[in-house]
């Protein structure tokens, strides 16, 4: 990989880290297309991207934890099934054709973009609980806990295979179902991302799918971005931040899809 490619990926990691720290999203969907665009093997990119998300989320989690925005019991209840799924998905990702992974990543990026844009445009004024409001997860019935655990496991497996934490899929549940305040949802989701990144990367690591030099460069850059992004939580209106991220992802989806199509034609 050329020096300018390392520099470009470091910049992308920093930018995605700032936005991710502010929004509670790992934003691997922003980094992964650029990594694939350099010609990286999809599985190598997946393992490395999860490692970058792990380092960045850990940096942001410290700031969120210090500020009291992480609800630890929710991290454990929602995070443990996703962790198991992420590890297994990463471990058996090589059983799937690369073009399938790339097309799947493209679909996830595109879906994420449209979801963020629609939510930002159609956002209405909501009444959120106070910042110190306790999470309501422990009071929910066993059926719902089991259902959410299965869903978290499936999301974790998919994300582990393609190299994405998929934090966006958990954010609505944290706010709408668990009644966490937005800042608490951001911090708690970031904490869950640390666990998924750790075990997802571990699964890829067992198969040798981690590029350590790139992880060091992007991980360090992401950590700086996530840390300062976490300190800026609430500084930008959530709707505006979602719209900005959605537009960026919408522009990136065709790059990954083109990569997948080229592999289909090559086969």
Quick: pLDDT tens for 3-17: 999 999 999 999 999
Q: Are 48 and 218 in contact (CB under 8 A)?
A: yes
- What count of other Cβ atoms lies within 10 Å of the Cβ of residue 184? 29
Q: Alpha helices, DSSP H only, in 129-211?
A: 142-162, 171-172, 182-206
Is the full-model pTM beyond 0.85? no
Average pLDDT, stretch 243-258?
A: 81
End-to-end Cα separation, the chain, in angstroms = 24
Average pLDDT, stretch 191-199?
A: 93
The two tokens of residue 84 are: 């198991």
pLDDT given at position 154: 86
Comparing CA positions, the residue from 164, 259, 260 lying closest to residue 204 is 164
Q: Supply the angle between the helices 42-66 and 142-162 in degrees, to the nearest 10.
A: 130
The two tokens of residue 62 are: 């410290």
- Which residues does 147 contact at the CB level (< 8 Å), separation at least 6? none
Give Cα 86 distance to the centre of its chain. Answer: 12
The two tokens of residue 21 are: 């720290």
- Does 241 score more than 90 pLDDT? no
Burial of 129 (C-beta count, 10 Å sphere; 0-12/13-18/19+): middle
| Diameter over CA atoms, the chain | 55
Confidence of residue 125 (pLDDT cuts 50, 70, 90): very low
- Residue that has been written with the tokens 């537009």 in this structure: 247
pLDDT given at position 266: 66
Determine the 3-state secondary structure of 92 from DSSP.
coil
pLDDT digits (tens, 9 = 90+) for 70-111: 998 888 888 899 999 999 999 999 898 877 877 887 887 888
Compute the C-alpha angle 140/170/116, nearest 5°.
Answer: 135
pLDDT given at position 143: 56
Give Cα 101 distance to the centre of its chain. Answer: 16
């Amino acid at each position: 990989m050329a020096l300018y490619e390392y520099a470009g990926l470091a910049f992308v990691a920093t930018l995605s880290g700032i936005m991710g720290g502010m929004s509670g999203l790992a934003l691997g969907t922003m980094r992964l297309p650029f990594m694939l665009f350099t010609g990286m093997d999809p599985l190598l990119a997946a393992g490395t991207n999860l490692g970058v998300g792990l380092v960045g989320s850990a940096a942001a989690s410290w700031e969120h934890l210090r500020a009291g925005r992480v609800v630890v019991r929710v991290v454990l209840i929602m995070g443990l099934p996703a962790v198991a799924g992420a590890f297994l998905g990463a471990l058996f990702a090589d059983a799937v054709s690369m073009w399938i992974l790339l097309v799947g990543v493209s679909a996830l990026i595109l879906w994420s973009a449209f979801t963020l844009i629609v939510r930002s445009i159609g956002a209405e004024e909501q009444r959120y609980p106070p910042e110190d409001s306790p999470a309501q997860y422990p009071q929910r019935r066993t059926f719902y806990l089991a259902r959410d655990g299965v869903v978290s496991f499936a999301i974790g497996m998919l994300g582990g295979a393609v190299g994405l934490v998929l934090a966006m899929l958990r954010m609505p549940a944290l706010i709408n179902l668990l009644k966490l305040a937005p800042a608490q949802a951001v911090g708690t989701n970031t904490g869950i991302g640390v666990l998924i990144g750790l075990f997802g990367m571990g699964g890829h690591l067992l198969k040798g799918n981690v590029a350590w030099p790139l992880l060091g460069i992007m991980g360090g850059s992401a950590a700086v971005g996530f840390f300062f992004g976490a300190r800026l939580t609430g500084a930008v209106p959530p709707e505006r931040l979602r719209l900005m991220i959605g537009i960026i992802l919408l522009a990136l989806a065709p790059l990954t899809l083109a990569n997948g199509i080229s592999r289909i034609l090559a086969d």
